[in-house]
Amino acid sequence: MNKDIFRAYDIRGVAETDLTEKVVVDIGKALGSIIIDQEDNEIIVGRDSRLSSPKLFSYLTQGITSTGVNVIDIGIVPTPVLYFATHKLNSSNGVVITGSHNPKNYNGFKIVINKKTLSEEGINKILNLVLEKEFPKGEGKIYQEEILNYYTDQITNDIELKSNLNIAIDCGNGAASIIAKQIYEKLGCNVTSLFDELDGNFPNHHPDPSKEENMRDLTNAVLDKNLDLGIAFDGDADRLGIVTKKGSIIDADIQMLAFSKEILNRNQGSKIVFDVKCSKLLSEGIEKLGGIPLINPTGHSLIKRRLLEEEALLGGEMSGHIFFNDRWPGFDDAIYAGARMLEIVSEAENKDLLDNLPKSCSTPEINIPVGDKEKFGIVKEFKKRMDFKEAKIIDIDGVRVEFKSGWGLLRPSNTSPVLVLRFEANSEDELKVIKEKFRKILYSINPNLGEF
């Protein structure tokens, strides 16, 4: 068994290679054991549209039911619908089979126990149970329940648009295809829908809205049809991409400024959580708006946990996970977050509102391929070799070095075999200077790292 599939906030690997029948059955047995330990006997299981998901569903539920735990099958759903189901149905436990934004041959499991998404400690517990192989025995059952109608009603009852909007959405042939268009039309929008047929081959583009090349079709649709907004989803619809009326892509941390303003107008002094990859414009903007910014390690389950611990009303990640904890139960949901953005745009007298959000000189997330084990060693060695006496160091997740003129970040990805870098500065020249500082140290550690 490849233990590297047990990651910081989910289980993820290559289907049929890492996620073999034996491994997945044992993961199911481990989940059943955890549920029985907390004196429960049910878990909700959903899945995305990947080609391997039906087979993994069969393996996983075989393992779960063999422990005596019952499975509530909610079918093909976006990941946030699984989260929603743990608040709406009889069970507060759930697992969704999804490879998220990874290549089509990958798949995995995002897991909720007692309404809390598992992170490293909980994932390690599953690993240890799989290794020990001491599972209870029983005969659980599988039965189906409908959840999509409840989810649709919850959003449409919560969101009120002040004006009808003409929008485009890009489902990327992922799980949003089954529900997003219907929800936005029910809210009163005229919807141009791209790539809304479920297809685990993702034939049109990779379902990752954090990459500019995956947003071209949506941008073209918005500009060609003179639409008010474009909304994109990743493969399991828990990450949001936004295109403005003028065709600009708004990064998630800058989206957060618009969401922060709306929330802090009603809730002065509220806390807002964001990850180490986010722009300094966000933290400064939150303070100016009367909120309390809280920086956090990257990871959807880690942001969710901090959000609930701090009773923050909003959370977000540079990757596009947005968490509302005011009128929504605090989980990342791109379909709901998209609806909140529609609400903001519909209320604005100036429909160019999003184009007027502040901008800085910054890079997108930069990924440098390295081995899964090597990436941690490189970051550790970088910390030893760096000597930035004039800078503020934030080392809660890799290392973020904040200079007067901007900042640079280096961290190991928790979902892929890559190093993650991002840079931001007051000018292009200052951005180059900060990048060069990082480049010099990284190439002294490994001169064969890719260009950035």
Task: Just list the catalytic residues.
Answer: 100
Task: Tell me the C-alpha distance between 253 and 51, whole Å.
Answer: 32
Which residues are within 8 A (CB) of 166 and not within 5 positions of it... i.e. 6 or more apart? 189, 190, 192, 225, 226, 227, 228
62: exposed, middle or buried (C-beta count within 10 Å: 0-12, 13-18, 19+)?
middle
**CB contact at 8 A, 341 and 422:** no
Residue with tokens 């993994």: 56
C-alpha separations of 150 from 49, 146, 293, 337 in Å: 21, 8, 33, 17
Which residues are within 8 A (CB) of 69 and not within 5 positions of it... i.e. 6 or more apart? 31, 32, 35, 36, 40, 41, 42, 43, 138, 140
Give Dmax (Cα) for the chain.
Answer: 65
Task: Tell me the C-alpha distance between 161 and 132, whole Å.
Answer: 53
Taking Cα atoms as reference points, which of 74, 59, 11, 65 lies closest to residue 33? 65
Taking Cα atoms as reference points, which of 312, 329, 324 lies closest to residue 116? 329
Taking Cα atoms as reference points, which of 394, 408, 335 lies closest to residue 181? 335
Residue 420 belongs to what H/E stretch? strand 418-425
Task: Tell me the C-alpha distance between 345 and 120, whole Å.
Answer: 37
Q: Which residue spans within 224-305 are E strands per DSSP?
A: 229-233, 240-243, 249-250, 271-275, 292-296
| Three-class HEC string of 364-409 | CCEEEECCCCHHHHHHHHHHHHCCCCCCEEECCCCEEEECCCEEEE
DSSP state of 111: E
Token couple for 84: 């929603």
